[in-house]
Amino acid sequence: MYTYGELLDDVNYLSRFGVETGCIGASKFGRLIPFVHIEGGGKPVLVTAGIHAREHVSSLFAVKQIYRFFSARHTSDVWWVPMVNPDGNALIADGAEAFGFEKNRLIALNGGSSNFSLWKANAAGVDLNTNFDAEWGKGKMNSRAAGSENYVGERPFSEPETIALAEFTQKIKPCLTLSYHAKGHEIYYEFGQSGEALERDRRIAEYAASLTGFSLINGTRGSAGGYKDWCVSALKIPSLTLELAPDEFSHPLPDCSVADDFEREPMLPEKLYAFMVENGYV
């Protein structure tokens, strides 16, 4: 699996070659949450990954994309937050021992098991992709109890990771956000928008579907409180959730499960930005 330690090594390596890097903030247990910026022209595009701990292949995919942008010709201005949930990643990679006297509480939240390979939440047991202020708590799968997935937290933006990502997004003002998850080869873009915004967002999502070969999902499928949901409803910008890795793989996903996706379309943010320019959306 791609770990937080490997991400820090990659970010450090890129910064030594002059790439702008930094942190959007820190996780609940004090792990810095890195960003990487590959400069270009026009308005920024923001890419996030690794908000769900067990979907560490999404972070691997994002970092591979950063290296490709670094070495290939590109014109767009792209920011990546490749691992929004470093505590969750550390919990899977290093176990509950990495959290000191929280160890027993975490094992209890994990149903008594010390195998965290299917854990999605942060290390407080909050599913970060339900903690944004967008119909918070109204999702079909939402839970009111801390655990490995679906717990919405005590209130919208109760978690330092979601506050940091929301503040960073408001600071850089992207014209498009992409959120990498796994698995299933699906693209989500809807969250109550209508009229021209819905038409714009559907066309961008259709184009993303044609580039990736993923299925376009209309409607929300009962989602609420997600980062994409918040970008669409609060910021009024197109925002896609992309489920990488084909369905035939099972969780925990092996690194190779996103290899074909990367080969097929390594420059997705660049192409989507160009499409938005061509169509007058930016």
Where along the sequence are the contacts to Zn ion (CB under 5 A)? 52, 55, 181
- Measured from the CB of residue 181, what is the shortest distance to Zn ion in angstroms? 3
Identify which of residues 159 and 270 has a Cβ nearer to Zn ion in the complex: 159
- Measured from the CB of residue 243, what is the shortest distance to Zn ion in angstroms? 7
Please state, in angstroms and rounded to a whole number, the distance separating the CA atoms of residues 246 and 250.
Answer: 9
Identify which of residues 55 and 229 has a Cβ nearer to Zn ion in the complex: 55
Q: What spatial distance separates the first Cα and last Cα of the chain, rounded to whole Å?
A: 37
- CA distances to 22, 69, 76, 107, 264 from 17, in Å: 14, 13, 19, 41, 27
Identify which of residues 31 and 52 has a Cβ nearer to Zn ion in the complex: 52
Identify which of residues 76 and 169 has a Cβ nearer to Zn ion in the complex: 169
- Measured from the CB of residue 241, what is the shortest distance to Zn ion in angstroms? 8
Q: Which residue is nearest to Zn ion (CB)?
A: 181
- Measured from the CB of residue 70, what is the shortest distance to Zn ion in angstroms? 26
Q: Is the peptide bond before 271 cis (omega within 30 degrees of 0)?
A: no
Report phi then psi at 36, rounded to 5.
Answer: -130, 135
As a whole number of Å, the CA-based R_g of the chain is 18
Structure tokens at 85: 């949930």
Structure tokens at 127: 């599913």
279 closest CA partner among 170, 173, 176: 176
Identify which of residues 65 and 150 has a Cβ nearer to Zn ion in the complex: 150
- Measured from the CB of residue 77, what is the shortest distance to Zn ion in angstroms? 26
Amino acid identity for residue 258 in this structure: V
Beta-carbon neighbour count of residue 106 at 10 Å? Answer: 22
Identify which of residues 37 and 52 has a Cβ nearer to Zn ion in the complex: 52
- Measured from the CB of residue 121, what is the shortest distance to Zn ion in angstroms? 11
